[in-house]
Structure 1
Amino acid sequence: MATTSPRGGAKGRTNLSTITQGGAAPVVADHDDPYHLTSDGIREPPVGWAHSLRHLGPGLILSASIVGSGELIATTTLGARTGFVLLWMVIFSTFVKVAVQIELARWTISTGQPALTGYNKVPPRLGRVGWINVLWAIMALTKVLQIGGVVGGTAVALSLLLPIGGDPLGTLSITVWTLVTVVSAIVLLYSNNYSLIERGAVLLVVLFSIGTVVIALGLPLTPFAYSADDVLSGLTLAIPAGAVGIAIAMFGITGVGADELTFYTYWCVEKGYARYVGPNDGSDAWKRRARGWISVMYKDAFVSWCVYTFGTLAFYLMGAAVLHPQGLVPAGNDMIGTVSRMYTDTLGDWAGTLFLAGAVAVLGSTLWASIPSWSRMYVNLLSEFGLIDWRNTRQRLRWIRIFTVGLPIVWGTAYLFIQSPVLMIQIGGVSTGIFLLAVVIAAWYLRNTETDPDIRGGTAFNALLVVSSVAIVLLGIYTGANVLGLVAR
């Protein structure tokens, strides 16, 4: 019987058997399932960058997810609204969360467990469910709006390229293209061709981001030139009046947000890092393998950080230099058209079509990366609620497919009701900023209770982890206080 591997690629006959884990009831397990650690799956880690390159991948999925909702929309909007003054926040938000991402992934690689399983271990618990997973479920509701905004942005870009019924922002055209976006995403992901989609989407994101970086660096040669003084003015650690809310949303979205920190662990497992390390038998060989594959994960995280950081800076600079002086702020369904002015005003009208095609690629890749990621997280949450068995390979894959179909429909419906991509994405960003607090707590708890001390980071990394954690906690507290109206906006 043919089935599908956890990586989403088609497989032939799977090797399924009944096993028992930790004295629990027998479950159906696939010996090729990366969530089941066996001695058969052990591989020696590669040494150096050249041998590690083909093992990179989880971070590129993150980059595909991040660039659309964060860089293209939220960061550009921030630059258009505030000018250069919050440039420091862009740099800070992309850099400061990486240490927590790595620490959580370190625990995953050493245990083979995904994030929501770990979150459920952090006390106190509400019945069988940990408090962090309760917060995650609440955050997931607001994320319906954020990713619905991505669906909407994709639909608007498609509608501007090929309007239906005359008016590209009319109800008919927007509705039809939203349906096309949702249905095509479901078909492409459910057809087990995700690896091909992933590679193509990542390639388009990288090319589009490189193009934006080149344009941003070339702006001094256009009528929208910026100076070194403009850039330096954005490094003064100030937040202008009226920009607190959008700055907080940007901090939650740009770089790795709470959702990306969480689903990065699933892709580290499914790439094979944990399976290659094998079950922890306490031996020196296991520790050596763990350190080796964690080193590969470091490289993976670094490459993805470079991609989304340069993309973030470029989009912000273009928003600040091109849109802000003209008083253009992306909003509502006009968001894509406004953002496209960064290209048409600097390169000419011909660049508008190129931008729209690139926007479809960027936002589409975000959507297509989000669907399998959120599907896994929802299924993992149901498992922690006791509704399904995560260890049962067949059951887990069946439910992942169910969410692969259901989530795009829900997200598309949310957009059609609200039709304000920027607002929808910013609401999700605020909730992400608050939930980052819980992720930091979980990362430290799992580090201290389950991560082998011999595979923890060195002094420099630990110092960065402390700085990262403190910054996230302070921003999370401020975000919560701001939402509750306890601080001045």
Structure 2
Amino acid sequence: MATTETEALAPAAAEAVDPYLLRAEDVREPPKTFGGRLRHLGPGLVLSAAIVGSGELIATTALGARAGFVLLWLVIISATVKVWIQAELARWTILNGRTALDGYRDVGPRIGRLGWINWLWIGMDFAKMFQRGGIIGGTAAACSILWPISGEALSFSSLFCWTVIITASVVLLLQTARYAVVEQAAVISVVLFTTITVGLALALPLTDFGFGPSDLGEGLSFTIPAGTLGIALAMFGLTGVGADEMTTYTYWCLEKGYARWTGPDDGTEERARRAEGWLRVMRLDVTVSWLVCTLCTLAFYVIGASVLNPQNLVPEGNDVITTLSRMYTDTMGPWAKYVFLAGAIAVLYSTIIGSTASVPRLWTNSLGLLGVIDWNDLKVRRRTMRLLTICLPPLWAASYLWVQSPVLMVQIGGIGGGVFLVAVVIAVWRLRALGVERRFRGSPWLTVALAVSSAAIAFLGVYAVLDVFGISVDGS
């Protein structure tokens, strides 16, 4: 289902296809049935494989362990409100055949060759470097516990060896193998781990760590207890579809073929009908991605609140994986530790793969917008992507070996992503006004949902800024 038209071609022919170029000869009629639309899903599944990792496994579970059920409402909102922004940005991309970073340049004021949101993304990505390092570190910690290799489990020598192995393997994998195979492997690993986690969450009422209606009622009380604001803001930036994933999603939609199959805007009714058809496919793709992320996020939070919170176990430092494994050993027995470690390695490694595949694309596009390279030259673009794929993961790994606190590193990236999310909301409304005709904007209810989503994100963004400067909401 995640295989694209390009990937279905012979390797030589696939190399010659530019997924970012719209040509009349590439148009394709959209599917008219639900089953047909299902067969054209893909970008959302790739996104889910990348998303279900650090935010859900580390940040969300840590929040549940620290706050209990009281912030369950924020988990639900975090996983839901961003979907409308994601879909709106993808709508603009499909209709215009342009990447999100290219669109951000249209949102003034400009600073040099780029718009202010482009520069904000560049700054945010340096913060996200710590998050990606935290993901590599979490994977290394899980591997070290499973097989120390050098020294004791979680010793520096063991963590160093596994960090090098993991970083080298993901670079080698993405440099030598077709990414379609990597995508399918990542999706399978996330589906398996999500199934196990959701099953465990549903089975908790049958154990000593069960939860009931009163816990769920407390979780929907819409309050933020003292001492949890920082991690709550990080969780909001990390869980569900983050601003960087929304941006990346436009690239996956282009590479899948939604924009190419729609074709260049020639002003004809045929093109408009094709656009409406492929937009319906995109909306279904977004919905499937949202379902996967929401189920996984809720499961991780409920497990943290039910199992770790009553025992005052909060994942911290390099012990995060050991602490998280208690969610399984305390409910299923010691043998479940190894099942968890294998699943944690799979889900975190799939996230590393997603980052290693997407971030070089974003930086290559940024270099093109800055005039450093010719983005429209297919050979130059691919060569730059491959070079960055080799160079960036070692930098992320080095940040982990320096800080060695996966939870803190993931939270730093989450706060950076939360700030960037507000800028993406501004960009979406501007691009919607400039590049989306009224007939493609959907029903008025979709506009209302987009407005509510934007307001919620803006409120939490302002709340985060005030907290950074030590200003409380009551003005003290």
> Take 2:371 and 2:438, find their aligned partners in 1: how far apart are those partners?
31
> Take 1:157 and 1:339, find their aligned partners in 2: how far apart are those partners?
10
Map 1:220-369; keep pairs closer than 5 Å.
Answer: 220-369=205-354
Query: C-alpha displacement at 1:484, in angstroms?
Result: 2.4
Query: C-alpha displacement at 1:383, in angstroms?
Result: 1.0
Structure-2 change in CA distance of 1:66 and 1:7 (3 Å): farther
> Take 1:332 and 1:215, find their aligned partners in 2: how far apart are those partners?
25
Structure 1 equivalent of residue 129 of structure 2: 144
Structure 1 equivalent of residue 421 of structure 2: 436
Q: Secondary structure at the match of 2:398?
A: helix
Query: C-alpha displacement at 1:196, in angstroms?
Result: 1.0
The answer on 1:219 being equivalent to 2:188 is no
Kindly indicate whether the alpha-carbon contact (under 8 Å) linking 1:74 and 1:422 is maintained by their aligned counterparts in 2: yes
Supply the RMSD in Å over aligned alpha carbons. 1.6
The answer on 1:376 being equivalent to 2:361 is yes
> Take 1:107 and 1:15, find their aligned partners in 2: how far apart are those partners?
26
- The residue type equivalent to 1:483 in the other structure is V
Q: 1:410 aligns with which of 395, 398, 406?
A: 395
Structure 2 equivalent of residue 13 of structure 1: 12
Aligned-residue sequence identity (percent) comes to: 53
Structure 1 segments unaligned to the other structure (5+ residues): 17-29
Query: C-alpha displacement at 1:316, in angstroms?
Result: 0.3
- The residue type equivalent to 2:207 in the other structure is T
The CA deviation string for residues 415-452 of structure 1, in whole angstroms up to 9 with x for no partner, is 01111000000001011111111101111111101122
Map 1:149-168; keep pairs closer than 5 Å.
Answer: 149-168=134-153
Structure-2 change in CA distance of 1:9 and 1:41 (3 Å): closer
Structure 2 equivalent of residue 23 of structure 1: none
> Take 1:416 and 1:200, find their aligned partners in 2: how far apart are those partners?
27
> Take 1:371 and 1:269, find their aligned partners in 2: how far apart are those partners?
18
> Take 2:416 and 2:180, find their aligned partners in 1: how far apart are those partners?
30
Structure-2 change in CA distance of 1:478 and 1:357 (3 Å): same
> Take 1:325 and 1:176, find their aligned partners in 2: how far apart are those partners?
35
- The residue type equivalent to 1:413 in the other structure is A
Structure 2 equivalent of residue 108 of structure 1: 93
Runs of 4+ aligned residues of structure 1 deviating over 3 Å after TM superposition are: 5-16
- The residue type equivalent to 1:272 in the other structure is G
The answer on 1:128 being equivalent to 2:113 is yes
Structure-2 change in CA distance of 1:52 and 1:15 (3 Å): closer
> Take 2:269 and 2:6, find their aligned partners in 1: how far apart are those partners?
30
Query: C-alpha displacement at 1:485, in angstroms?
Result: 2.2
Structure 1 equivalent of residue 381 of structure 2: 396
The CA deviation string for residues 295-352 of structure 1, in whole angstroms up to 9 with x for no partner, is 0000100001111100000000000000000000001000001001000100000000
> Take 1:54 and 1:469, find their aligned partners in 2: how far apart are those partners?
31
> Take 2:116 and 2:136, find their aligned partners in 1: how far apart are those partners?
30
> Take 1:171 and 1:460, find their aligned partners in 2: how far apart are those partners?
54
Kindly indicate whether the alpha-carbon contact (under 8 Å) linking 1:6 and 1:34 is maintained by their aligned counterparts in 2: no
Kindly indicate whether the alpha-carbon contact (under 8 Å) linking 1:88 and 1:237 is maintained by their aligned counterparts in 2: yes
> Take 2:8 and 2:355, find their aligned partners in 1: how far apart are those partners?
17
- The residue type equivalent to 1:223 in the other structure is D
Query: C-alpha displacement at 1:111, in angstroms?
Result: 1.0
The answer on 1:420 being equivalent to 2:420 is no
Structure 2 equivalent of residue 20 of structure 1: none
> Take 1:166 and 1:176, find their aligned partners in 2: how far apart are those partners?
10
The CA deviation string for residues 240-283 of structure 1, in whole angstroms up to 9 with x for no partner, is 00111100000000000111010000000000000000000111
